[in-house]
A and B are shown apart, each in its own frame.
Chain A
Amino acid sequence: QQQVKQSPQSLIVQKGGISIINCAYENTAFDYFPWYQQFPGKGPALLIAIRPDVSEKKEGRFTISFNKSAKQFSLHIMDSQPGDSATYFCAASIVGTSYGKLTFGQGTILTVHP
């Protein structure tokens, strides 16, 4: 009930391409969906987050698409750059209890080739 499933496990994209990472959740009480970027040896950094009252949110090259009926959300990285090479985690929480009590997906290792 609390799981967040993330795919793919790894992704290789050419510079300038679009990177797409997908997540699916089971708990319909989840109402906050952030994405984190983590570089080796660093803590996760918040990239972008969405609430289920909107279907899409864009910040620069990063876009979250959200499908409430399918219980799925995805991260799109436009014009991917070698500096985007990192591990990406989706997460979910219930705002009523706490934004911070996050359930994480398994992570996606993104490699952007120059």
Chain B
Amino acid sequence: SAVISQKPSRDICQRGTSLTIQCQVDSQVTMMFWYRQQPGQSLTLIATANQGSEATYESGFVIDKFPISRPNLTFSTLTVSNMSPEDSSIYLCSGGVNEQFFGPGTRLTVL
């Protein structure tokens, strides 16, 4: 199994600002994933983060809005840029070799 931590656990941000979320895995993994979970809803994949290459984004998500870094095999960041209230959500990262394990999530509120 893999243990995944995220920082910050929650934040309240002003419209128009950006927030960077960090994700740390306790073992090396080839791929890490970023998901969004709106309150009371299911999880939607934002992008796949590979070490050494650009992230691959799912339909409806773009790099300018959600830039991702993956500097090594245990760490990734997701930035939510130019935030609006519609970005208020829980952001989750996941990783693992075969099975996927999730971090505790970052609860973002945009005012």
A residues touching B (Cβ–Cβ < 8 Å)? 34, 36, 41-46, 49, 89, 98-107
Contacts and interface: CB of A to CB of B under 8 A. Distances in A.
B45 interface: yes
Contact of B105 (A43, A98, A105): A43
26 contacts: A36-B102, A42-B105, A43-B92, A43-B102, A44-B43, A44-B102, A46-B100, A89-B42, A98-B48, A100-B31, A100-B32, A100-B48, A100-B96, A100-B100, A101-B33, A101-B48, A102-B43, A102-B45, A102-B94, A102-B100, A104-B42, A104-B43, A105-B42, A106-B41, A107-B41, A107-B42
Contacts, number: 53
Nearest to A106: B42
A83 to B, nearest CB: 19
A34 B103 CA distance: 16
B45 A49 contact: no
Nearest to A89: B42
Contact of B95 (A42, A49, A100): A100
A49 B48 contact: no
B99 interface: yes
B104 A89 contact: no
Contacts of B32: 100
B43 A89 contact: yes
Contact of B98 (A36, A44, A99): A99
